[in-house]
């Protein structure tokens, strides 16, 4: 049964890949909406505020200055009610999952409030409730790059608190903005404040079928597929290597329109295979 469960997850990942990017197909099923990362779904993340509405969905409009639309500047986090705050318990477990079921990065622990923090009296676990290890940030990663609309993700500030429209270029080198999948991003976020994450502002080299570019991580991709390294190892233990080798390539990122075209040559389906590593 365990094996069947893992196979199901892998199959779903492939189905989602084939479905394409709804920002380009302009299609979602009835009652679903297209997120900023080109994935169809239901709920506020997809249909509230910045989501593209489709027949069958109705939701209250976000109010002016709502951080779920605009984002928050560095040092703040966005609460479930759309207000920027400075206290982790204010919004961490809603915006950045719950580390009791995932993990925390090196030097961090899972607090009783469900977010990662420096080791202190509030820590309820050594690493997490499951004792799982955070996904590695070293080495070369392979995965899928998805085209995303950054201003739909948040119009004024990125996940890392970087103001939209500000150039990331340095030393006459063009640097593109990029979003990292939540599985690699979240374990290193302290007290639910995303700008505290050391991944913010890190640069990486991304290689695609038509070119390579330098990017800077300023966003978190909630719809990018999570890293499948752990599932790969389990599958390898349960089955033969050749059946699952192709499923190792799932350390996904999201690229802005200009960045995506630079590595893929065109928008196409809005998805392309890439290799990348931090620099």
Note the pLDDT tens digit of each residue in 137-163. 888 999 999 999 998 888 899 999 999
What average pLDDT is seen over the chain? Answer: 77
CA distance 134 to 219: 19
Q: Is the pLDDT of residue 107 over 90?
A: no
Q: Which of 66-80, 202-216, 230-244 has the lowest mean pLDDT?
A: 230-244
Helix (H, G, I), strand (E, B) or coil at 119: coil
- Are 146 and 187 spatial neighbours (Cβ–Cβ below 8 Å)? no
Cα separation of 21 and 270, whole Å?
5
Single out the residue of 179, 175, 174, 173 nearest to residue 149, CA to CA: 179
pLDDT computed for residue 162 by the predictor: 95
pLDDT in tens, 169-195: 998 899 999 999 988 898 888 888 899
CA dihedral 115, 117, 121, 127 (to 10 degrees): 70
Bigger pLDDT: 49 or 45?
45
pTM exceeding the 0.85 threshold for the entire prediction = no
What is the arithmetic mean of pLDDT over 14-34? 77
pLDDT digits (tens, 9 = 90+) for 259-276: 999 999 999 999 999 999
pLDDT of residue 230: 42
Q: Are 104 and 187 spatial neighbours (Cβ–Cβ below 8 Å)?
A: yes
Determine what percent of the chain is predicted with pLDDT higher than 70: 67
Give the domain ranges of the chain. Answer: 2-47
* pLDDT of the residue at 143: 93
Does residue 47 have a pLDDT over 70? yes
Confidence band of 115 (pLDDT split at 50, 70, 90): confident
Sequence-distant (6+) residues with CB within 8 A of 115 are: 88, 89, 92, 93, 96, 98, 99, 189, 190, 191, 192
* Strand duo 271-278 + 203-207: pairing: antiparallel
What pLDDT was estimated at residue 64?
67
Choose between 73 and 20: higher pLDDT: 73
pLDDT of residue 264: 98
> What is the pairing mode between strands 212-221 and 175-181?
parallel
Q: What confidence score (pLDDT) does residue 140 get? A: 93
Look at residue 204 in the predicted model and tell me its pLDDT: 97
Q: How many CB atoms lie within 10 A of CB 15?
A: 9
Q: Which of the two residues, 274 and 87, has the higher pLDDT score?
A: 274
Of 270, 276, 20, 258, the C-alpha closest to 146 is: 270
* pLDDT given for residue 113 in this prediction: 74
pLDDT at 93: 55
Q: How far apart are the C-alpha atoms of 78 and 152, rounded to whole Å?
A: 16
CB contact at 8 A, 160 and 74: yes
Whether the CB-CB separation of 43 and 54 falls below 8 Å is answered with no
> At 17, phi and psi to the nearest 5?
-65, -45
pLDDT of 9 strictly over 80: no
By the 8 A CB rule, do 133 and 103 touch? yes
| pLDDT value, residue 163 | 94
CA distances from 266 to 20, 64, 140, 191, 271 (A): 14, 35, 24, 39, 10
Q: What is the pLDDT of residue 152?
A: 86
């Amino acid at each position: 049964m365990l094996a069947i469960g893992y196979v199901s997850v892998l199959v779903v990942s492939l189905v989602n890949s084939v479905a394409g990017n709804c920002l380009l197909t302009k299609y979602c099923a009835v009652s679903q909406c297209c997120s900023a990362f080109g994935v169809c779904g239901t709920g506020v993340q997809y249909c509230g505020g910045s989501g593209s509405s489709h027949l069958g969905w109705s939701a209250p409009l976000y109010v002016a200055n709502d951080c779920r639309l605009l984002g928050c500047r560095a040092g703040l986090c966005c609460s479930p009610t759309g207000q920027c705050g400075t206290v982790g318990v204010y919004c961490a477990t809603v915006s950045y999952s719950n580390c009791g079921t995932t993990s925390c990065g090196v030097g961090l622990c899972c607090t009783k409030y469900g977010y990662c923090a420096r080791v202190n009296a509030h820590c309820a676990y050594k690493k997490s409730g499951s004792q799982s290890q955070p996904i590695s940030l070293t080495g070369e990663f392979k995965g899928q790059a998805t085209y995303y609309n950054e201003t739909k993700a948040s119009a004024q500030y990125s996940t890392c608190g970087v103001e939209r429209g500000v150039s990331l270029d340095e030393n006459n080198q063009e640097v593109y903005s990029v979003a990292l999948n939540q599985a690699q991003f979240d374990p290193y976020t302290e007290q639910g404040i995303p700008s505290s994450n050391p991944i913010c502002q890190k640069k990486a080299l991304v290689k695609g079928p038509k070119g390579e570019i330098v990017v800077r991580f300023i966003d978190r991709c909630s719809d990018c597929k999570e890293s499948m390294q752990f599932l790969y190892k389990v599958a390898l233990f349960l089955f033969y290597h050749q059946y699952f080798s192709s499923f190792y390539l799932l350390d996904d990122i999201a690229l802005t329109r200009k960045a995506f075209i630079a590595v893929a040559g065109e928008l196409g389906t809005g998805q392309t295979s890439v290799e990348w590593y931090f620099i």
